[in-house]
């Protein structure tokens, strides 16, 4: 199983909290919206990714558990 981050662009209101909690993996665009890579979250960052998703004020950040390809 691999875990990836997804952002719901409709729910996101650009608080930027996710990038503050997980700067190793999430960057912000010029308007403050998160940019997440399409690659799986590295094993050493999965715990932080889950915390960032749980801390999102609009619940727009999701940890998607999919199968490894």
Helices and strands (H, E) in the chain, number of each type: 2, 4
Q: Tell me the C-alpha distance between 2 and 6, whole Å.
A: 13
Domains of the chain, by residue range, sit at: 2-61
CATH number of the domain at 2-61, please? 3.30.70.20
The model's pTM is 0.85
**Residues in the chain, total:** 69
Residues 6+ away with beta carbon under 8 Å from 28: 14, 16, 19, 34, 35
From residue 55, give the alpha-carbon distance in Å to each of 1, 4, 15, 49, 58. 23, 17, 11, 10, 9
Chain segment 2-44, per-residue pLDDT in tens: 899 999 999 999 999 999 999 999 999 999 999 999 899 999 9
């Amino acid at each position: 199983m691999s875990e990836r981050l997804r952002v719901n662009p409709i729910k996101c209101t650009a608080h930027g909290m996710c990038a503050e909690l997980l700067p190793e993996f999430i960057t912000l665009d010029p308007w403050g919206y998160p940019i997440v890579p399409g690659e799986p979250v590295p094993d050493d960052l999965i715990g932080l990714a889950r915390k960032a998703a749980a801390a999102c004020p609009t619940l727009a950040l999701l940890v998607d558990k999919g199968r490894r390809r």
